Amino acid sequence: MKENRTLVEKNTKARGVKVDLSRFYELLDERNHLIQEIDVLKAKRNELSKKFPQVSGDEKETLQAEVNQIKESLKELEPKLDEAQIEFKKIWLEIPNLTSEDSPLGATDEDNVEIYRSVKEVKFAFEPKDHTELLNDDYLDFERGAKVSGAKFYFMKNEIALLEQALIQFTLDKVVNKFGFQFFSTPDLALNEVILGTGFNPRGAEKQIYNVEGEESSLIGTAEIVLGGYHKDETIDKAYLPLKYLGLSHCFRTEAGAYGRTSKGLYRVHQFSKLEMFIYSSPEEADKMLELLKEIEMEVFGELEIPFRVIKICSGDLGGPAYKKYDLEAWMTMKRDDKHPSGDWGEVTSCSNCTDYQARRLNIKYSDGQKKEFVYTLNGTAISLARAVIAFVENHQDADGNINIPKSLQPYFFNREKIVLNTK
């Protein structure tokens, strides 16, 4: 760890992360020194204890005095080690993953790089509406959602609720039957130690996690958390890698600080459903697995005939666990403003290679029969339903304000070609 100090310092600077690395390395030395001292004392105590049956009288009293002295020393040193370990781990959890050389350098999302676009431009032959204008409370009811559960909760109803289920089944069919992922219906709660292990913060002012009062658990913000914790403290036979999992979960996010045009309607809500892909991989296959996740996401939105572009994420916008990351953004009418009068791109999915960052924290290894190493973990959103619904209805609306269903989705939507909306 110390031999990589220059690399770690350079990486945290590129990520724009403020971490007290000087204190971290001080604690590393202190911790290692205390562990060594304690191990020596325990070995000495064990050695002396073995002599007790062989001695008597004054020699036994002298031996007992030495053992007592060692116990006193351990009583002093072990709490110091516990304190050092706690502070060390706190800083360790704040240190981001290393960054791929292929990731652009930059501080904010403005430094991300577009690498693919499915269409040259998005044009309508009429003035398009956004999803909040298209969907009245017969389909999307925020008012009653707030009455029942609070602001930014909602009821999805009738054809739009059925559309959500069709999108789930369409994506599920593709990811499981074509790409061979194992399907999971996951818990909505995770222990905080698992949440921390996957790189999310369940506590603090900037948390996006809902805590459960009186419990050491929280509502998950993504199935990545529970699928990442699935093999915690396990060793996986390398012959089984890669393990490709698909989890359907509810996702809960506080969306603290969210405001403006990006918080309108379904774009930032406190609860939504999502199909999340998660892969346990050997290091040598991880790059290929990331490209697979990106390919699946592109295929889903391509076959749904939703205009999209792919973004390679820069160092300052990666987030702690990610080594390399892609975002897929769909065209959204709801993103229009003075600068973007017809609309703009909005994130709908992402995929990341987290290397062994999560596995080290969750103690997940693989074995080839000779040695054990930490696995690499990758994650990717197959479909996030709230934002997928935005992109779907806004891009498939017609001049009459109804929603066309592309042929790819019709078998999952009662073979219907259109949703004729009740405009009241």
Instruction: Provide CB contacts within 8 A for 346, sequence distance 6+.
Output: 262, 267, 329, 330, 331, 332, 334, 335, 387, 390, 391
Mean pLDDT, rounded, for 169-190:
98
Tens of pLDDT, residues 326-361? 999 999 999 998 899 999 999 999 999 999 999 999
Flag whether pLDDT at 239 surpasses 70: yes
CA distances from 4 to 9, 11, 23 (A): 9, 10, 15
Flag whether pLDDT at 207 surpasses 90: no
At residue 127, φ and ψ (nearest 5 deg) are: -80, 110
What is the crossing angle of helices 5-15 and 21-49, to 10°?
140
> Which residues are registered as beta bridge partners of 367?
237, 372
Cis check for the bond before 242: say yes or no (omega within 30 of 0). yes
Give the highest mean pLDDT range of 59-68, 87-96, 249-258. 87-96
* pLDDT band per the 50, 70, 90 thresholds, residue 264: confident
Strands 235-237, 365-367: pairing kind = parallel
Let me know: does 396 contact 289? Beta carbons within 8 Å.
no
Mean pLDDT, rounded, for 299-313:
98
> Which residues are registered as beta bridge partners of 311?
114, 327
Query: CB atoms < 10 A from the CB of 173, how many?
Result: 12
- Distance between CA atoms of residues 118 and 310, nearest Å: 9
Between 279 and 93, where is the model more confident?
A: 279
The two three-digit tokens of residue 15, written as one number = 């990520």
- Distance between CA atoms of residues 68 and 229, nearest Å: 43
At residue 220, φ and ψ (nearest 5 deg) are: -80, 150
- Distance between CA atoms of residues 326 and 311, nearest Å: 6
Mean pLDDT of the chain: 93
Mean pLDDT, rounded, for 42-67:
83
Tens of pLDDT, residues 271-293? 999 999 999 999 999 999 999 99
- Distance between CA atoms of residues 45 and 73, nearest Å: 11
Tens of pLDDT, residues 369-414? 999 999 999 999 999 999 999 999 999 999 999 999 999 999 999 9
Task: Label residues 143-172 b or e (16+ Cβ within 10 Å = b).
Answer: eebeeeeeebbbbbeebbebbbebbbebbb
Nearest Cα residue to 392 out of 315, 350, 334: 334
3-state secondary structure of 384: strand
- Distance between CA atoms of residues 350 and 232, nearest Å: 24
Mean pLDDT, rounded, for 88-100:
93
pLDDT of 345: 96
The ranges assigned to domains in the chain are: 20-94, 109-419
Q: What angle do CA 166, 172, 178 make, to 5 degrees?
A: 130
Flag whether pLDDT at 259 surpasses 60: no
DSSP element (H, E) containing 381: strand 376-384
The two three-digit tokens of residue 2, written as one number = 């110390």
pLDDT of 383: 98
Query: Which CATH architecture best describes the domain 109-419?
Result: 2-Layer Sandwich (3.30)
